[in-house]
Amino acid sequence: MAAAAIVAVLALLAVPAPAQAANPYSPQGVCGSGYSVIDSAPISTSKLWATVYLLYNSGNGNNCVVTIKQADIGTATYTEAKLQIEGSSTVYRDGGSYSYYAGPVRRYAAGKCVRWGGVASDRAGQSFSIWSGWEHCG
């Protein structure tokens, strides 16, 4: 009887923790019809917090940035997407306490370089970010 109890306890200890649910949102779904991913960058430490996506719509010349959470999905934490167009000091951003993603941030940028990035925070409010150099010119 004691051996069976030990086996039962060991079986419980061997059960892996439940995996976090996948984020149900996609970059194309957030940015809308006609946009294609042209680049992406992880926001990570020893943990993947979010992925920032840069998309382009060749039909209208707009870029779109969205930050899709990869951790704390479904829990509101500070999340941000940002985009800057060459020749302007303005950084367009969408940031707030979001459960799944930040963005879309859309701006016309045909023929210009862009800087793009994002921020993701943990439940304690510690922020992690990424910000590109000037790229994707044209």
**Which has the minimum average pLDDT: 3-12, 40-49, 110-119?**
3-12
Through-space distance between the first and last CA atoms of the chain, rounded to whole angstroms:
73
Q: pLDDT of 58-110, one tens digit each?
A: 999 999 999 999 999 999 999 999 999 999 999 999 999 999 999 999 999 99
Cα–Cα distance for residue pair 109/127, rounded to 1 Å: 28
pTM of the model as a whole: 0.85
C-alpha atoms less than 13 angstroms from C-alpha of 136 in its C-beta half-sphere: 23
